[in-house]
Amino acid sequence: MRVNLNTENRISIKRLTDADLSRSTTTNQTHIGLSDKSLTFMGNNKRARTAILVHKNSWFAETCDIGKITRKDGRHDAPKISMGNRNKENLVKRIREIASTNRHAHYMLWFAADTGTPVFWVIRKGSADYKKLKDIVNFNDVNDKICTFGNDDREFKLITDIIETI
């Protein structure tokens, strides 16, 4: 599927943590944290929208609650995608279902399409998608932090070329 990136021209990737995937015994986290360096045009207020989920060369439209994390002091931090209504199908629930099929590490790459629609690509370590990206993305760096690539980064162009093939 051909997708054009939003004028923001940023792609972020992170390793999904046990808390993100609801595997942690020490937290009941209801969201997946994102980077404040991408999806910056979305603003601070949480709102429901449609997002695209990519997994194993398939594209799915999913409901997504997305907005900035608001701290007790009123400060806004990086955005997050939230569970929203736990009884309905949604992006976070679907990502967790994908990752629950095995205990391998999972990564999430995200960006905005030119329509403003957020796109989230879930990648299992060792999968065909992972192998497409492993020579471009230093997954050791991604294990410890969120990496964001912009227009001026070599990785950006290489990743966008791969996105066009999925």
For residue 64, CA distances in Å to 2, 49, 87, 94, 148 come to 22, 5, 13, 10, 21
Residue 1 lies in a domain: no
CA distance 58 to 36: 27
Query: Rounded mean pLDDT of 35-57?
Result: 82
Q: Which domain holds residue 147?
A: 10-163
Residue 25 lies in a domain: yes
pTM: 0.90
Residue 56 lies in a domain: yes
Q: What is the pLDDT of residue 86?
A: 63
pLDDT over 80 at 12, yes or no: yes
Residue 148 lies in a domain: yes
Residues of the chain with pLDDT > 90, as a percent, come to 47
How many domains is the chain partitioned into structurally? 1
Cβ-count burial of 97 within 10 angstroms (0-12 exposed, 13-18 middle, 19+ buried)?
A: exposed
Residue 123 lies in a domain: yes
Are the C-beta atoms of 89 and 63 separated by less than 8 Å?
A: yes
> Please, which pLDDT band fits residue 95 given cuts at 50, 70 and 90?
very high
CATH number at residue 31: 2.40.330
Residue 3 lies in a domain: no
pLDDT over 80 at 45, yes or no: no
